[in-house]
Amino acid sequence: MNKYIIAFFLFGFLGWVWESIYCTIRKRKWANRGFLYGPICPIYGFGALLIFYAYNLTESGYLPDIEWWMIFILGFTISMVLEYSASWALEKMFRARWWDYSNVLLNIKGRTSIPTSAAFGFAAIPVMKIFIPLADRGLSSLSESLLNIQALIFISIISIDTTLTISSLTNFQNYVAYLDEKFQNHMTNIVDQIYSNQNSFYNKAVQRIAVFKLPGRKNRIAKQLREKKFVELIKDYYESDVVKQMDEYIQHGTTTTLKHCENVAWISYLINEKLRLDADEKELVEAAILHDLYIYDWHDGDPSRKTHGFDHPDIACSNAVKHFGISKKQQEAIRSHMWPLNITKIPKSREALIICLADKYCALIETIRLNKHFGLRH
C-alpha cells in the first residue's frame, strides 16, 4: 500500500516536471503547471497508480501479459476519463479551467480530446514497460518502516497543500484577514473584562481569548480554560468501556489508539479555534475521539489487516454509530479521515477536513517521535 502512495507522488512530480517544461518552452515563459502549490500534478499520479495496479496484477499472475496495444488503450482510456472528470470537478468547485482543448480537433467540451489522450496512450507504454518496473524494484528495496514514514510525510504534505490551495482559491485567507482586522480592537476590551472577573471564563469567552497572544498570566489562564473546555467535551467518552479498549492497542510507534484519538481530537480543537473555522466544536471533537474506534490490533499479522488503511474508517464508524449514535456529519468525518488514501471518500464538511488534517499531523509526529502525547492534562 505504501508503495502506491509513494508512486503517486513520484509520478505526480514527474508529470509536473514534464508539464512545466513543455508549457515553458511553448509559451517562452515560466509556467508552473498543476492545481496545487507544490510540484505535483495529481492527475498524473492517479493515472500512474492505475497503470501500476495493472502492472502488479500481471506480475502476480492475475492477468496475462499485456501487449503494447493493450497498454495504449489503457492509457488512452485513463487519460480521457481523468481529464474530463477532473476538469469538470475543478470547474464546478472553482469556476475555472486549468486546461482547455477547445482549439484541438475531436475535443469533448474542451475538457479532453482524442489526440491528447492518444499521446498519453503512447506515453503509457514506456511508463508500464520501463518506469513502473524501475520504481517497483526501487521501492521494494526499502524497509517497511522507511516506506511508512515516507508515505506519512507525503500524505501530510499533500493534505496541507490541498487545504492551502482550496483556502486560497475560495478567498478564505482574505476572509480570515477581514475577521482579524475587525476583531482586534474589540478583543482587547473583552479580555480586560473577562480578566477582571475570572468566574466569567466560559464557552465563547474562552474561544475568543485563546486565539490571541496575551502576555504572561492571561495566556496561562487562556490555556487552562481552553483545556478545561476540551476535557468537558470528551470526558463522557472516557467512562465508556468500548473507548477504554482502544488503550489496549498500539496505533503508531508506541502510542496507543486511545492516545492517538485524543491527540487528533486536541489538535482538531486547536486548528478550529486558532484559525476560527467555525466548525461545530462538539461534533468535531466527538468525531475525532471516535475516528479510530475499530478495536483490534492491526499489527498482529492477520492477512485480513492488509487493507486496514482502507477498511478501518468504516469499521470505526459502524462502532461509533452502534455505541454512541453519532450524527450523519460525524459519520462522514470518520469515514473520510483517511483521504487521500481513500480517494473516493473526500471530506465534505469543515469538521471532516480538520480531522483529516489533524490525523495526518498526529500520525507523523507519533511515528517519528515515539509515544508522542500532546501534553493535555486531565
pTM: 0.48
Domain boundary assignment for the chain: 2-142, 172-368
Region 193-201: what's the mean pLDDT?
48
For the chain, what percent of residues have pLDDT higher than 90?
A: 21
Residues 6+ apart with CB under 8 A from 185: none
| Helices assigned H by DSSP within 95-215 | 114-126, 132-140, 144-169, 172-196, 203-210
Q: How far is CA 242 from the centre of its chain?
A: 27
Could you give the 3-state DSSP secondary structure of residue 252? strand
Cell digits of residue 252: 503508531
CA angle 31, 33, 36 (to 5 degrees): 130
More confident residue, 2 or 15: 15
For the chain, what percent of residues have pLDDT higher than 70?
A: 76
- pLDDT band, residue 328 (cuts 50/70/90): very high
pLDDT at 37: 65
Distance separating alpha carbons of residues 92 and 32, to the nearest angstrom: 22
pLDDT at 375: 47
Map grid coordinates 497543500 to a residue: 161
More confident residue, 13 or 193: 13
pLDDT at 211: 40
pLDDT at 322: 94
Distance separating alpha carbons of residues 73 and 66, to the nearest angstrom: 11
- pLDDT band, residue 150 (cuts 50/70/90): confident
Whether the predicted pLDDT of 195 surpasses 50: no
Maximum CA extent, the chain:
78
pLDDT in tens, 282-298: 999 999 999 999 999 98
**259-286 as b/e: b if 16+ CB within 10 A:** bbbbbbbbbbbbbbbeeebebbbebbbb
Residue 376: closest CA among 267, 249, 247, 243: 267
- pLDDT band, residue 346 (cuts 50/70/90): confident
- pLDDT band, residue 104 (cuts 50/70/90): confident
CA distances to 32, 34, 317, 368 from 6, in Å: 22, 18, 27, 18
First to last CA, the chain: 37
Q: How many CA atoms lie within 13 A of 77 on its CB side?
A: 8
Highest mean pLDDT among 206-215, 222-231, 238-247, 327-336: 327-336
pLDDT in tens, 34-93: 666 677 888 888 888 888 888 888 888 887 888 888 889 988 998 899 888 888 887 776
Distance separating alpha carbons of residues 371 and 264, to the nearest angstrom: 14
Distance separating alpha carbons of residues 15 and 82, to the nearest angstrom: 14
CB 43 within 8 A of CB 19: no
Map grid coordinates 510507534 to a residue: 253
Decide the pairing of beta strands 112-113 and 107-108.
antiparallel
Whether the predicted pLDDT of 316 surpasses 90: yes
